[in-house]
A and B are shown apart, each in its own frame.
Chain A
Amino acid sequence: MEIKLSNMRKIVQNRNLKGFTLIELIVAMVIVGVIASLLVVFLMNSMNAFNRVSTRKSLILDASSSIQRFSREVSATYNIVFAGSKLFQFTTTTFDTLNVLEYEINTDGTLTRRFSGGNKELIAQNINYSNSNFTYYNVNDVIGIPIRRIRLTLLFENNNQSSLFTADVSPETFRYQ
């Protein structure tokens, strides 16, 4: 069956192929806009939840790894060199008095570790400086000397979320009487 060019043009013209009018486009855009904004409202909770979960996760990881490291090293304390609220310096044997280990809470919200005068090593970040500290307890569980127990309190803060971690270390060399 042959179709002539003139017939073809007729077929095309007869169909409703005029394209969208401006009104139709605007109506479509409004509808899409309403649906999109509803979707954003609907998904916002999930997105917030995801953000919260990932922030929290990194915060907990920082907290537990730093506390683990701190308590492992401090539990071997033999001699305390300096005991301040933001800085704790100690040695771990009787004969090596030179190589001091230190843990420090810094004003920039980090917990750092330094061995034998080397570089400060980052242990944890996102710490609230004024609410994090070292405290020292004597044999009667009262703050004071001679020190029997070292407490590290860290308040982690990130994206409006916070978590308080406390770890007590009683070095076995400082045996209670």
Chain B
Amino acid sequence: MNYKKNQSGFTLIDTIIGIVIVSFVLTGILFVIIDLNVKSVRNETIAKGTAYANSVMHYIRAHKFDENYADSGQPWTYPLGQDGGDFDDIDDFIGADWSIIPGYVNDGYQATSNVIYVEATTSWLTNCGYATDYKRIIVTVTHADLLNPLVLTSLMTPHGN
């Protein structure tokens, strides 16, 4: 009868081919799990970097809008930047060294800060090139494991200082 012909079961070759296929599938699964591991590291890098950027932002915002604020008032300093070697207003932190907040630099984080004058004509975003009542603070944290830098920004005015 016909059905009896092909009833010899798996040969050794069949079994070996089967094992090879299964091992390929298992390797694929392993790669997925390894990728999960990398993603988790990225989450941690973002969490830590955000804490770092937040600390830097706090630090800058605890300073005066402008060094002329308590004295003669306006005109505000122009151009912005570190002046006099002291940190008495927010724009003194342009290009400042943020290694004073430890626990991050050794982990490969790099924080930079910038302060620019903005107003309505520049959509409150880009440097308008002259003194206004609005300064934008930009804190950027970078790390080799981050695809994009972490950026925090906030606007500051002399009012309510």
Residue of B nearest to A39 (CB): B26
Give the nearest-CB partner of A57 in chain B. B40
- Is there an interface contact between B104 and A166, defined as CB atoms closer than 8 Å? yes
**A-B pair number, CB within 8 angstroms:** 81
Which of A50, A57, A63, A67 contacts B33, CB < 8 Å? A50
Give A contacts to B, CB under 8 Å: 42, 45-46, 49-50, 52-53, 56-57, 60, 63-64, 67, 71, 75, 141, 148-149, 151, 153, 163-172, 174-177
Residues of B within 8 A of A164 (CB): 103, 107
CB pair A177–B88 under 8 Å, yes or no, is: yes
Provide the bound-state CA to CA distance between A163 and B88, in Å. Answer: 34
For A64, A148, A168, A175, the residue with the greatest tally of chain B CB atoms inside 10 Å of its CB is A168
Question: Which positions 54-101 of chain B face chain A at CB distance < 8 Å?
Answer: 54-55, 58-59, 61-64, 87-88, 100-101
Once bound together, how far apart are the Cα atoms of A14 and B45, in whole Å? 72
Query: Chain A's nearest CB lies how many Å from the CB of B98?
Result: 10
Is A167 a contact of B51 with CB atoms below 8 Å?
Answer: yes
A167 to B102, CA, bound (A): 9
Beyond A49-B33, A163-B44, is A67–B61 a contact (Cβ under 8 Å)?
Answer: no
- Nearest Cβ on chain B to A133's Cβ, whole angstroms: 12
Q: Check B64 against A167 for contact (C-beta < 8 Å).
A: no
Instruction: State whether B43 touches A149 (Cβ < 8 A).
Output: no
